[in-house]
A and B are shown apart, each in its own frame.
Chain A
């Protein structure tokens, strides 16, 4: 298990991605799964960095776990920002024409579609998002 705590800012996402990629490479993760995990990190970290603390600043803790028995990567994101349950949002309508299309909500939708599992909990005033991906 690895855990990092740092300021929840957009410009920290490449650094986090690099740490996770390093671990995934050590686990012989297929390139496709690695990039899907990278996209999921980008989507959720962008959400935390943009909305969790309003205009202020705050920290995020990211935990990386690997379950060898079913080769599943478990990533947990913990922030103490405003409550935000991504699973409570309806999925975006992906059939609308170009004029009517908005891209809000697509990021969460992408995580749902590319990861094997996504769970949310509000615990002790914190948002805890856990995503799982078999590699």
Chain B
């Protein structure tokens, strides 16, 4: 998994490439945790995400909880496969997906 971060004012875009699973989710969690100070808009770019397992969902949920308090979060460029995981788990109701 590769994580690319881009900050533009108080907007942070995190692009995730590869597989977001039990092995890689802790890295993303760490990246997010240390980057959200002063961020009012978090954009998760999943264009190059191969797949997501429940470990990745856990990271998204905690990021959403933080961002609900200090601004907003959206997930963009979601593939069909990842969208199916969001749908099955009800994450389509929790996340803002564009």
Contact = CB atoms under 8 A, between A and B. Distances in A.
Interface of A: 10-11, 13-14, 32, 35-36, 38-39, 42-43, 45-46, 94-99, 101, 103, 106-107, 109-110, 113-114
A103 B23 contact: no
Contacts of B58: 103, 106
A35 B81 contact: yes
Interface residue range, chain B: 20 to 34
A106 B89 CA distance: 7
A5 B62 CA distance: 35
Given A46-B55, A101-B61, A103-B57, A13 B93 contact: no
Contacts of A110: 53-54, 85, 88-89
Contact of B68 (A10, A39, A45, A98): A98
Contacts of B88: 94, 109-110, 113-114
11 contacts: A13-B21, A39-B52, A98-B68, A98-B94, A101-B61, A101-B94, A106-B89, A107-B53, A110-B85, A110-B88, A114-B88
B13 interface: no
Contact of B50 (A35, A101, A103, A113): A35
Nearest to A35: B51
Smallest CB-CB A-B distances: 5 pairs:
A94-B90, A107-B54, A46-B22, A106-B54, A42-B21
A81 B52 CA distance: 27
B7 interface: no
A91 B11 CA distance: 36
A98 to B, nearest CB: 5
A98 B65 contact: yes
A99 B89 CA distance: 15
Interface string B50-81: 11111101100100110010000000000011
Given A95-B90, A98-B94, A110-B89, A42 B61 contact: no
A33 to B, nearest CB: 10
A110 B54 CA distance: 8
